[in-house]
């Protein structure tokens, strides 16, 4: 299945940052584009706001210890990558555990369709569900999409660990043996990258194996991978879908947005400029 898998890698933050697409090989191409754009023009203040929400929610859901809270561990890793001040992180954790007063965020999931029947799954953290629901619905409507009921598209997506490694960092045979022994499900070569998928519970184990072997990664995320994709065959349609995804990503309450469009590499390269 050639093309793109926008992965919920949107948490790498940037102009293109927290949404996901699909088509395993394409997925990594898009993730790479987002990674580069994020490094170039990340909106630092918005990134910190989203990270603080995620850290707070993770601490509230699973406690303030990273040892027993994989979600918090991943959020803190993102905070470190973004150079978030330690004081901000500590306060976010304490607000989540109730040691400090603060806003309580509710986790909300929205489902719907982008133009062309592309399935879209949106995860948000909000202190006002009614406000966020109205605003997200407005983004769908303005961009030619429509929201749908619970369960309409969620069944298409499955949460997985997703890691991208630069091919220059390691030989494929060595990497394959290393990650599969650590619990990875698959490794594919996509242009200049290795694309590793893992069960959700094994993402940290595989990351630790890479770290111990001295192998760095371009990105490592928990994401939602779709079981099927919708082909997008022209640049105009691709631009509409990407603009829609970007509008979702720019909303302060949206933490991740996933979609199952499959955009051929040539069209993706032009549409993402």
pLDDT for the residue numbered 44: 64
pLDDT for the residue numbered 222: 85
pLDDT in tens, 161-186: 999 999 999 999 999 999 999 999 99
Cβ partners under 8 Å of residue 251, min gap 6? 124, 132, 135, 136, 139
Could you count the other beta carbons within 10 Å of the beta carbon of residue 222? 20
pLDDT in tens, 187-208: 988 778 899 999 988 998 999 9
Q: How confident is the model at residue 120 (pLDDT cuts 50, 70, 90)?
A: very high
φ, ψ for residue 246, nearest 5 deg:
-65, -40
Dist. CA 114–CA 60, nearest whole Å: 32
What's the token pair of residue 102? 């603060």
Residue with the larger pLDDT of the pair 17 and 126: 126
Residue 28 has pLDDT above 70, yes or no: no
HEC sequence for the chain: CCCCCECCHHHHCCCCCCEEECCHHHHHHHHHHHHHHHHHHCCHHHHHHHHHHHHHHHHHHHCCCHHHCHHHHHHHHHHHHCCCCHHHHHHHHHHHHCCCCCCCCEEEEEEEEEHHHEEEEEEEEECCHHHHHHHHHHHHHHCCCEEECCCCCHHHEEEEEEEEEEHHHCCHHHHHHHHHHHCCCEEEEECCEEEEEEEHHHHHHHHHHHHHCCCCCCEEEEEEEECCCEECCCHHHHHHHHHHHHHHHHCCCEEEEEECEECCHHHHHHHCC
Q: How confident is the model at residue 34 (pLDDT cuts 50, 70, 90)?
A: low
Residue pair 121/153 in contact (Cβ under 8 Å)? The answer is: yes
Superfamily of domain 1-157+227-265: YebC, transcriptional regulation domain (3.30.70.980)
Q: How confident is the model at residue 272 (pLDDT cuts 50, 70, 90)?
A: low
Dist. CA 241–CA 255, nearest whole Å: 18
| Site of tokens 């997703």 | 162
Task: Identify the CA nearest to 111 among candidates 151, 82, 142, 79.
Answer: 151
Which residues are paired to 159 by β-bridges?
224
Residue 16 has pLDDT above 50, yes or no: no
Residue 246 has pLDDT above 60, yes or no: yes
Distance of alpha carbon 151 from its chain centroid, rounded?
20
For the chain, give the mean pLDDT.
82
End-to-end CA distance of the chain: 23
Residue 108 has pLDDT above 90, yes or no: yes
Task: Identify the CA nearest to 71 among candidates 163, 161, 186.
Answer: 161
Least confident of 5-9, 80-84, 211-215, 229-233: 5-9
pLDDT for the residue numbered 9: 34
Q: How confident is the model at residue 98 (pLDDT cuts 50, 70, 90)?
A: confident
Domains of the chain, residue spans: 1-157+227-265
Single pTM value for the model:
0.77
């Amino acid at each position: 299945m050639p093309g793109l898998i926008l992965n919920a890698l949107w948490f790498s933050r940037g102009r293109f940052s927290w949404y996901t697409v699909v088509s395993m090989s394409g997925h990594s191409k898009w993730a790479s584009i987002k990674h580069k754009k994020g490094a170039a023009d990340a909106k630092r203040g918005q990134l910190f706001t989203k990270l603080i929400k995620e850290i707070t929610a993770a601490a509230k859901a699973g406690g303030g210890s990273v040892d027993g809270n994989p979600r918090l561990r991943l959020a803190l890793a993102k905070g470190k990558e973004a150079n978030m001040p330690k004081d901000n992180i500590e306060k976010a954790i304490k607000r989540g555990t109730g040691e400090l007063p603060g806003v309580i965020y509710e986790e909300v999931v929205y489902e719907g369709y982008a133009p062309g029947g592309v399935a879209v799954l949106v995860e948000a953290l909000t202190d006002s569900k009614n406000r966020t629901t109205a605003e997200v619905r407005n983004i769908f409507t303005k961009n030619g999409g429509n929201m749908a009921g619970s369960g309409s598209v969620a069944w298409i997506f499955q949460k997985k660990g997703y890691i991208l490694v630069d091919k220059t960092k390691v030989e494929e045979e060595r990497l394959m043996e290393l990650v599969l022994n650590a619990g990875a499900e698959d490794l594919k070569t996509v242009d200049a990258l290795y694309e590793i998928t893992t069960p959700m519970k094994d993402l940290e184990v595989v990351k630790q194996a890479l770290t111990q072997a001295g192998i760095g990664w371009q990105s490592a995320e928990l994401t939602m991978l779709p079981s099927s994709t919708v082909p997008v065959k022209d640049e105009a349609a691709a631009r509409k879908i990407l603009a829609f995804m970007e509008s979702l990503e720019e909303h302060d309450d949206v933490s991740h947005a996933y979609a199952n469009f499959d955009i051929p590499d040539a069209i993706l390269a032009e549409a993402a400029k």
